[in-house]
Chains A and B, each alone.
Chain A
Amino acid sequence: MDVSQYLEIFIDETSEHIQSLSDCIMVLEKEPDNKDTVNEIFRAAHSLKGMAGTMGFKRMQHLTHTMENVFQEVRSDNVKVNSAMIDILFKCLDAIEGYLDNVKATSNEGEDDNEALVAGLNNFLEAQEAGGEEAGAESAGAAQEAEPAGNKKYLEAGKAEAAREAIKKAMDNGMKVYGITATINKDCLLKAARAFLVFKAVEEMGDIIFYDPSSQDIEDEKFEFDFSFFLETESAELNQILEAAKGVTEIDEVVGELITEEILQEEAKQAEAEEEAEAAAEAAAKEEPKSIAAPAPVANTAPASTAASSGSSGDKSSTQPAKGKAVTARTIRVDIEKLDSLMNQVSELIIAKNGLVAAHNSSSMSQQEATEQIEYLERITTSLHESVMKVRMVPIESTVNKFPRMIRDLSRKLNKKMDLIMTGEETELDRTVVDQIGDPLQHLLRNSADHGIESAELRAQRGKPETGTIKLTAFQEGNNVIIEVEDDGGGIDTEAVKAKAIERGVITASQAENMSQKEIINLLFLPSFSMAKEITDISGRGVGLDVVKSNIEALGGDVEVKSSLGEGSKFIVRLPLTLAIIQSLMVEIRNEKYAIPLASIQTIENTPLTDIKFVESKEVINLRGTVIPIVRLDKILEVEPEQEDGESLTVVIVRKGDTMTGLVVDNLIGQQEIVIKSLGKYIKNSKLISGATILGDGEVALILDVNTLM
């Protein structure tokens, strides 16, 4: 069964289910009796199981199935939720994610059985069973015991449509049909051979009409320790069959029963109900793989609901080894409304183009008509740009929603109580940025949890609530999105940072004397400057804030810290909304044109030469009470020097966070929307230039990177 075409959907949906499971389990931990949550978890686990099964990821299916069983018991109040269970459930989620990563990389789920987890989950079930009366299972079948139908796995198999059809046909012909499940000894080396002997023994009495796993998979030993089949026979009794099967060595257990109309109908109903539940719970897209999977041809008896094609996907990867990594493309889900408006705008664009063509052909186009047409075109391209940007925008939710879980784990590991409060998850950013902002944010959060929040004793001493608070706040501000990570912990001890910096030889003692608080805090962003006194698992490996800083700067953003000792610190990450197209101010320096991103421009001043003062032999101007250093762009950009003849300078005041700098230019050209192009990797410049753009006349203008000019 080729399901590779559904791989992308599978990956998308699985990550969604994992996320919702993770969210729900977090809730469950706080409110163990919340029935709604339990139900939601059950549904998500069930859907996961179904999808994994459809795709033939047997191990994943097995694990989710066991999880589902646990939730089933929780739902019916047989098992109480406790922290041990929550822990193991989280581990299961990690394991499923591991499978998913394997699937993403190789389109195969990998080899890890996660037996320990399955056993751990089963312990909960067994503990509950033991409480009833029966002391559970023997070691051999521990995993299987947990199945809702016990060892009667054939009941599961019977849900497959192919199986039902085959059984029905046999019954219509007046044959008796038995469902049999045989369990092979775990130490058995030749499972396929044992299975074959079982089949041989029972086939003396009738014909096997359905195998689960498929006969091919059984032959290839692609099954765990049990297999099921349906046998049609004219006269043989159940006992005879079971005896015959048990006669084969190394077969531990054989169970079976006569399949009657009722059982069959029950199966059909259950299968339908399951499918319905899934249909209700999942999007229409998900239905497709299901409906394709179900009518698997009887000939090769591929069961749709149970594991089978872990083998076939294995084959696939061996036949196409060249394909290598990354089996899926990066996709984005787009609201159909956004696409509609895009389509409308494109139609308008075509109309505008036709208008221009017609006007051009009539050759009597007046200046005014031309201007009108061009304005029309301009309006459309601007709104088209906006629409395309909107399509690329996704809420940061997808990235930040894994953080509550992370903080919970950290809280346990560090033995500190802390809460994460997130606001503004719906803030939208360019997909590329959202994808890449995860790591830096994660780092900042770890930083807050590890270095920020103090130990419980210290917090009590300082009169703070026992539970520390970390806030993650996102919001839009003009053309930027601001993400703040704030904690109410100890704050940054600037004296300690200073001492460390002197010790490391980063600065000299006399330099340290003259440094402002802010400059000292900025030392933290230097490479390999970790404040952790001892290296912990969580942070302090020396790969730290410098990586955060460079990652964020690579996205065109910047990061800033505010901190007060004893009260906490706040990391402010500022990111641009879009990457590709920006508004800019075109300026001229001698005869060269440069673009300055409008977003970072504060004001433009015409400053008389007499207003320029010198502080520490650097040129500054005093602008309405603020002293702003000025930068002569012509010097930095290595333009031919020119004799100053004017009486005043044109100064563009740019801002980054709280810092302002004045850039001296020769001329202002005007505001323009520009498309950012990369300079390529061969040409190097000292980061002064962040890119280039092509002007209306075809010339190339360079874009100044304001951040490095400060």
Chain B
Amino acid sequence: MADLEVLDETTEQYIVVRLGGEEFGIGIGYVDNIIRMSNITRVPTAQFYFKGVINLRGEVVPVMSIRKKMGLEDDETTDKSRIIILKLEDHELIGVIVDAVSEVVNLANSAIEATRKDSSSVEDTYISGIGKAGSRLISLFDINAIIEDKESA
């Protein structure tokens, strides 16, 4: 019986990224590609959290700053900075900037704790749950909430 219980547990893979001092997880199903920082062309009068557009294998892909969207201080480009290209349901690509990519973790569904949706913190509106990998806590991004164009301050 014990064996069966383990089998029942569906695990999902998350890419762990670093933003500020915190670790965040992005469901691997969303990730199309991870690239180094490249030249970003600014788009005038776009939403404040959009950094601009980049050339990804001949396609023009918009890049947004999660930091800006979450109300953190602006990104600081370092050697470790990466752009994670997310593939959305409608096959549109969109890039998000992270401070660093650390690893891929397997998280069982039982190891994920849902967040309280009534939370007033801006950050929490973009988090779908907290994953526990050993002693570490990884906030899992709600990709749709991040992409969604909501004029949240």
A interface residues with partner B (beta carbon < 8 Å): 592, 636-639, 677-686, 688-689, 692, 694, 698-702
Contact = CB atoms under 8 A, between A and B. Distances in A.
Contacts of A638: 44-45
A698 B41 CA distance: 11
A684 B47 contact: yes
B92 A692 contact: no
Nearest to B52: A700
B50 interface: yes
B59 A677 contact: yes
Interface in B126-153: 147, 149
A678 B52 CA distance: 13
Nearest to B147: A682
B41 A683 contact: no
Nearest to B93: A680
B62 A694 contact: no
A152 B141 CA distance: 74
Interface in B40-56: 41-47, 50, 52-55
Interface string B26-49: 000000000000010111111100
B107 interface: no
Interface string B86-124: 000000111000000000000000000000000000000
Contacts, number: 70
Interface of B: 39, 41-47, 50, 52-55, 58-62, 64, 92-94, 147, 149
A694 B46 CA distance: 19
A702 B93 CA distance: 18
A700 B53 contact: yes
A682 B94 contact: yes
A638 B43 CA distance: 10
B60 A678 contact: yes
Contacts of B60: 677-680, 692, 694, 700
A694 B56 CA distance: 10
Contact of B92 (A592, A682, A689, A700): A682
Nearest to B88: A682
B55 A694 contact: yes
B146 to A, nearest CB: 11
B41 A699 contact: yes
A237 B115 CA distance: 89
| Residue among A592, A636, A684, A688 having the largest count of chain B Cβ atoms under 10 Å | A684
16 contacts: A637-B44, A637-B45, A679-B62, A680-B94, A682-B94, A682-B149, A683-B47, A684-B46, A684-B47, A686-B45, A688-B45, A689-B44, A699-B39, A700-B41, A700-B60, A702-B44
Contacts of A682: 50, 62, 64, 92, 94, 147, 149
Given A678-B60, A700-B60, A685 B46 contact: yes
Given A682-B94, A685-B44, A685-B46, A700 B149 contact: no
Contacts of B43: 679, 683, 685, 689, 702
